[in-house]
Each structure stands twice: as C-alpha cells, then as structure tokens.
A and B are shown apart, each in its own frame.
Chain A
Amino acid sequence: MPKLTIDELRKMRESAKKEIYLREGEFKGKVIVHMGTCGIAAGARAIMSAFLDEIDNRGITDIMFTSTGCAGLCSEEPMVTIEMEGSAPVRYGKLTPDKAKRIFDDHIINGDVVKEFVVGIGSERVG
C-alpha cells in the first residue's frame, strides 16, 4: 500500500463508509421478510436474496433488512412488509424473485406501491 495523500484518504473514507452503513442506523425504509416455517418453505430465502442482490447492485445504503416470524397468513407466503419513512407499512404476498425486483424498483426507489401484489396496508390492531 503506497502512502496516502489527503485526497486518497478521503476516497478511502467514502468507500469505507459504504461498508459500515448498517451500523450508522440511518435508514429511510425497512424491508421485513417473513421467515416463519411457512415462509421459508414457500421460498422466503430466495426473496431475501433477490432483495439483497438489488441493494448490492445499486449500492443502496439507506434501506435496512430484517426478518420476522410467521404473520399468520401462511397461504400468502412468501411475504414481505415494506415500511418506508412516513407511510403505512405495506404487506406483499405470494412473491417471486421477479416480483421482488419490481417492488424494489417501484416502491422502494420510486415510492409507488405495487397494488397488484398487495395483501394489506397498515398494521393489524393490537387489542
């Protein structure tokens, strides 16, 4: 490794920041993949991979990924819930990797909910 100049150090900082973005905790949206036994059996892992590939390819650092258990609607699996800052959570069902890519483009990037895949909008009430 040659000795750095100030400009090179700054470049190194920019690329290093991308590596640790998860730790900074600044996200404008959250993708929750339902990974209960039913979800996994219906192919939730492939959906997860599809989303991960998308953020990888586009170098996106402000979307957080998390997984959760069964949402109680096993017939609609695999499902994901997408929570974008300032709007109600949207739940999509019966997903395929292709559908996942479209949701990523339309909803996460452009902010348009993909109505035809939606299972529900908003959260269940907790009584």
Chain B
Amino acid sequence: MAKKKRIEVMACAGTGCVSGGAFQIIDALEKELTAHGLIDEISIVPTGCNGFCGQGPLMVVIPDNIFYGWLTLDAIPHLVEEHFLKGRPVQKLMFTPPEEKEPFPLLSDIPFFRKQLLVVLRNKGIIDPEKIEDYVARDGYTALEKVLSSMPPDTVIGEISKSGLRGRGGAGFPTGTKWEIARKQEKTPRYLIANCDEGDPGAYMDRSVLESDPHSVIEGMSIAAYAIGSSDGFIYVRSEYPLAIERMKTALSQAREYGLLGSSILDSGFDFDIEIREGSGAFVCGEETSLIHSIEGDIPEPRQRPPFPAQSGLWGCPTVINNVETLANVPVIITRGSEWYSNIGTETSKGTKIFSLVGKINNTGLIEVPMGINLRDVVYEIGGGIPNGKEFKAVQTGGPSGGCIPASMLDSPIDYESLVEAGSMMGSGGMIVMDEDTCVVDVSKFFIQFTNDESCGKCVACRDGSEALLEVLDRIAGGEGREGDVEFLEELGAAVKDASMCGLGQTLPNPVLSTLNYFRDEYEAHVNEKRCPALVCRDMIQYYIDPDKCVGCLKCLKNCPTEAIMGELKYVHIIEQDKCSKCGQCLEECPPKISAVIKVTGNDMDSLEQLTEIVACAERKN
C-alpha cells in the first residue's frame, strides 16, 4: 500500500482553471515537491470545478483547508518552500475580497462558499473525477445498491415523486411524474437520455457536473433506467465540451469494468449501459424533440407535442429525457430519503439549484444554493457585490429564454414560480449580473441576435419573428427608432410567444418583454430622445475631453487607434468626432486623477460639440 499522505493538494482542473494553465501548474508543483523530497508525503489530486472560477487557477490544501487562487507558475517554488516545507501558508496567494485588507485563509471562511448548500455538487473539489474509488469512498453507488437490492421500480418512482424533484433544465416538470408516464407505456424498449446540451451563453452548470463528478450522473441514470424499465441510456453532450466528454468516457469504462454498467449489474439481473452522443452545438438541440431527432441522425428540428417523448420518443419508443443536474440529484434522494430532500427549498420548489454566476459581479463562479434563497443573498453575499462601486441594475436568469429581474425585486426568492412571476424563468441556471453601465436595449439585442441565429427555421413565428424583433431593436439602438416601435416590440413579442411550436420560439421574446416591463423608460429614451441612458449604444454616444480638466499629457492621443485626437504636450486635446470609432480607449487611458474624458448622449452631445469648437478656436489662437 502507498504511504499515507499528510497533505493533499486539491488542484482544480475544471475547464476554467485548465484554460488558465492548471495542468502546467500541477506539473510545476509536482516537480517542485519532488525536488524537496516531499512527493511521498504530499499528493496532488486534480479535481473538477471548485466553483470559485473567478479566482482560477486555484487549489485547496487539505487538511488545513487553505484556499489559494490566481496561481502562476512563478509562485509555485515559493509556495512549496514556505507552505509545504516550512508550514507557513502564503498570505499573498490567499483570497482577499476587493474592499478588505486581510485575506481569508480558509475555504470555509470565504463568504462565496459559506452560503452555499451542496447536494448535487457534494463531491466537487473533493474527488478526483477520473477515479471511481474516490466516488465510491464518498458513498458513491450506495443508492444503486439500495435500489437494486431492496426497492421495486414503483417504490423508486414514488420516492422521487415524494421528494418533489423537478426538472433542472428549466421548465421544472416533476421528475417522478415523467418517469411514471414512461413506465406505464406498454411499448418497449424504453430509453433514457441525459440532456447535457447546455446552450445558454455564460452557463456551465451541466459541464461542471460531468467534469467534477461523472459517476453521480451514471448512478442517477442507472437508477432512472431501473425505475422506468430501460436498459439503454444516452448522454447527449455538445462536442464543445471535450474535457467533460473525456472524463465521462473514462468514468463509463470504469463503471463497466466494475460491473456497475452492463449485464446483471451487482448480480441483480438488471442490465443497463450508456452511450455518449455528441451534438454539434445547435441551441435547438436542447429542446427534447430536436434532441431525439439529432440522436436518430435526422435534422434537429422540433416536432409538435403531444405525444410527449415519455410516450413516444426515440425511434417511436417511450423515452425519458432528464437534465444532467436532475439526474445527479437522484442518488442523494435515494440515499438520504425523500423526506430529507423535501425539507430543502420552498413549497413548490424542492432541493437546491446550481447557477453560474457571471457578468458584473465580484465573485464569478459556479454556485449551488437552496431553492428559495433570495437574489440579494446571491448577488451580495455569495457574489460579493458589484465591482468598482457600481450600482446593481438587474440580473438576467434563464439565458435567452429568460428575462431581467430589476433591483426592486432583489428580495424575491429564487424558485420556479417566483421567477416566472417576475417575467423570467429558472432556465438551466445561467445568472448574468448587470450593473448601471448595462443598456437593456443592447442586452435584448444580444439575446435576440443569438436566438435569431439559433432558430431552426421550421416555424414562421420564430424564424421571421426573431428577425423582425432584431430589425426593430437594431433600429432603436442605432438611433433610428420610430414612434410606435416600443409598442410594436410588445405586440410582436406576444405573437411569437403564442405562435411558436417549441420552447425556443415560445420563450425567445422574454428578454425583450421583461426589459420592456421594467425598463420601458430606457427604450423610450432611445426612441424619443435618441439617448442611451447607460451610455452604451455607439450610435448615440460621443466621447469628449473636458478642456477645463485636460492637462495635455498625450496619453489618450498616443493610444487612439484611429488617430482621432489632436493636440500637443500641455495643450488641451480635442477629439475629432468624424474620425472617432467610439472604442472608449481614451476614457481608459485618461489617468483617474484627471478624468477629463467623458461620455455623453442625447442633447448633451450638441451642447458639448459647440463648447469644444469654441475651446478649439481659443487654443489655436494661443
């Protein structure tokens, strides 16, 4: 047996940290530990996503539980000598929140982690996802054991129903009910599909689950398959997730080797195996009937429901499609019981939800929180608030199918119903935080551009509706908005919702409609006053240099990519508006103490233009 280790270094090797150089850092660490003769007593464990992605590449040193972030190759020799050889944890590599001076040494003290509740991500950062032994050690496959030895399929379905588990892909359909419908179908074979076609921009919950704990998905799938009476499962995952696919392949072959997949699993007579099907990243494939068509090798277009896939799905057979996160909940519910599970969350939304917290937020990362937590806690406690002292404006949930929730609703709880009431939706878990510098018209344009690109084109309402929405939004953002445009967006949005066949079209107007609901004045300012209040839409803003503040330091002038700034050392600089591309470089270059460059919109543009001309004449006279 290998010698006992005194320290384990849990090095995050999720996609985020890997792209930040995690593997190189792991190599350097190994080399350095070997050089100091410490490699026998200290082990390095590559883990899945730790969650605090904004701090990556990162590692946690066990058993002291010390968190190190923003690691670089240069920092490793010092770290090894100080912490691992001499036992002095290195302060400057610890996490220090922006407003604080003292670092938080321990992972358990960092507010980002403190308010989270880990059910699905129970093993994240604790196991090596490529070792089945690690998963088993954390009580992995006990649920499968329990189900196969003592629970008939109906009991399993009853337990899942009682737990209140609902689909985590977004729509929130009760999982137990879905399984029951499929089980009742007479036709066989029945199929089970794990949906990992995660397409929302900025969302990576499912990817992280596959990367950090692939066996929890396999176990959840095995239990689901047993419950519905299926022996063939598929994991549908987009090929943009190479690391997730690789780890899942490794996990599948380990499970087969141990007889946890295949024929007569654990000597029970139950047969089940799983195939990976890679999609090529079309957003519509997340819609279940399109996904089925994609697996069948057809063009991924949705079809009319009913019949629902649970009645007639893959190759016309009963098919249950569950989201990856839903499935990863299943083993815990079986092991700890439906009663325990249903105590977490709200009346109608049980358990936890994973969100990827991104955008204008201090602590970017992946979080798991109990249903019913309010948005304020997520944004300010876990997320650490808005960077650079800016004001919170809205949070976008549900991706291109969801909507924006304004500051006035920060205290509302996060559950399926409350989010719909607020004009958004749970979605799969993307959460994009926006600050005062975000323009809602610009955001709407971004999402409609996305859904317009991704619309499969089968039905007119979605295909042409998104096109028309985009045209009007482009016009409004471009300063060409006309009277009636705002009302037209509302009317068209409602029509696209009503007339589209699948979820993509039915929800694509949400980003527009929800922002119209909460930020109508901003749309009106764009249309009526040709003004962008957040100073974002390029056609409505101009950059100016305040002649009273400018000290003539040449910084903006030298760095202007279009050479639009004229002036000389110690002379007031002036932006030639017809040459300016509005990239904003000058604003960034101007030293904070001077702050002479300003951005203006609407009527301010005219008055400042005159002012600059006067100053320009005056300067030339000197």
Contacts and interface: CB of A to CB of B under 8 A. Distances in A.
A27 B63 contact: yes
B173 interface: no
B136 A22 contact: no
A65 interface: yes
Interface residues of B, number: 38
Given A9-B136, A16-B136, A56-B3, A1 B258 contact: yes
A102 to B, nearest CB: 20
Mostly, the B contact residues are loop
A119 interface: no
Nearest to A30: B63
Contacts of B257: 1
B145 A19 contact: no
B295 to A, nearest CB: 28
B133 A65 contact: no
B133 A67 contact: no
A5 B138 contact: no
Listed residue (B3, B8, B65, B136) with the most chain A CB atoms within 10 angstroms of its CB: B136
Contact of B6 (A25, A40, A52): A52
B10 A23 contact: yes
Given A9-B145, A52-B4, A23 B136 contact: no
A125 interface: no
Interface string A19-32: 11011010100001
A9 B88 CA distance: 40
B137 A17 contact: yes
B127 A20 contact: yes
Given A33-B87, A36-B86, A48-B6, A13 B139 contact: yes
Contact of A69 (B5, B86, B137, B259): B86
A6 interface: yes
A20 B235 CA distance: 29
Given A17-B137, A20-B127, A56-B3, A4 B259 contact: yes
Contacts of B262: 3
Interface residues of A, number: 36
A68 interface: yes
A65 B6 contact: yes
Interface in B41-93: 41, 62-65, 85-88
Nearest to A56: B4
Nearest to A61: B4
Interface string B1-22: 0011111101000000000000
A35 interface: yes
A12 B3 contact: no
A31 to B, nearest CB: 9
Contacts of A3: 258-259, 262, 264, 267
Contacts of A56: 3-4
Contacts, number: 98
A75 interface: no
B62 A22 contact: yes
A74 interface: no
Contacts of A49: 41
Contact of B266 (A4, A33, A55): A4
Interface string A72-97: 00000000000000000000000000
A19 B133 contact: yes
A20 B41 CA distance: 14
B86 A55 contact: no
Nearest to B125: A23
Listed residue (A12, A20, A40) with the most chain B CB atoms within 10 angstroms of its CB: A20
B40 to A, nearest CB: 9
Contact of A22 (B5, B127, B145): B5
Listed residue (B4, B62, B88, B134) with the most chain A CB atoms within 10 angstroms of its CB: B4
A16 B134 contact: yes
A35 to B, nearest CB: 5
B85 A16 contact: no
Contacts of A5: 266-267
B360 to A, nearest CB: 34
A65 B87 CA distance: 11
B137 A66 contact: no
Interface of B: 3-8, 10, 41, 62-65, 85-88, 126-127, 133-134, 136-142, 145, 148-149, 257-260, 262, 264, 266-267
13 contacts: A1-B258, A4-B266, A6-B266, A9-B136, A12-B136, A16-B133, A19-B133, A20-B126, A20-B127, A22-B8, A25-B65, A67-B85, A68-B87
Interface of A: 1-6, 9-10, 12-13, 16-17, 19-20, 22-23, 25, 27, 32-37, 40, 48-49, 52, 55-56, 64-69
Given A6-B148, A66-B87, 4 more contacts: A6-B266, A23-B62, A27-B63, A65-B7
Closest 6 CB pairs of A and B: A3-B259, A67-B87, A16-B137, A65-B6, A68-B87, A16-B133
